[in-house]
Amino acid sequence: MPRAVLPLLALLAGCVPIVTVTQPEVEIVVTDDRGAPIAGAIVNFASQLYGPDGETEFVEIKADQSGVARLPKKSYLQIAVLIVDGVALYGWSYCIEKTGFEPAIGNHLDKKYFKDSPTRVSLARSEAAVICTWNKDWRGDFYSAVEE
């Protein structure tokens, strides 16, 4: 059987192999409102599989002395079925916190958000003790900031 026949048969069967990114490669530079790096800022990162059976994987990274936090890319080969909802879709959220600063939040982001690496996030100074929290409700799953 010629090599071109097998991919053609898979396509005719309505199945296509695609690379699915479950966690993008991310480099986040955390600074204060003056542009100085914030060492030790905590980046809470959530990878969300959308859909009724969706799961969320959480990763917590500490920014280094330069205010940089890095996440490696995670992906797998998925056999996509060419029907409505025949593909697993992922979205990402983050909440960055550090004592003395207001958290920075990004919810329901796609891979386009992280295409310009590094992603720069600025935290504003705050006297209030505010932390990140993960919420699950009728609006979906998302990060928000709450006072301690």
Confidence (pTM): 0.83
- At 12 the three-state DSSP class reads helix
Q: Centre a 10 Å sphere on the Cβ of residue 125 and count the other Cβ atoms it contains.
A: 10
* Per-residue pLDDT tens digits for 11-63: 556 777 888 889 999 999 999 999 999 999 999 999 998 876 778 999 999 99
* Per-residue pLDDT tens digits for 67-124: 999 999 999 888 877 766 667 888 999 999 999 999 999 998 988 888 877 999 999 9
3-state secondary structure 28-61: EEEEECCCCECCCCEEEEEEEECCCCCCEEEEEE
CATH number of 5-147: 2.60.40.1120
Asked if residue 2 has a cis previous peptide bond (ω within 30° of 0), the answer is: no
Domain ranges of the chain: 5-147
Quick one: how many helices (H) and strands (E) in the chain? 1, 11
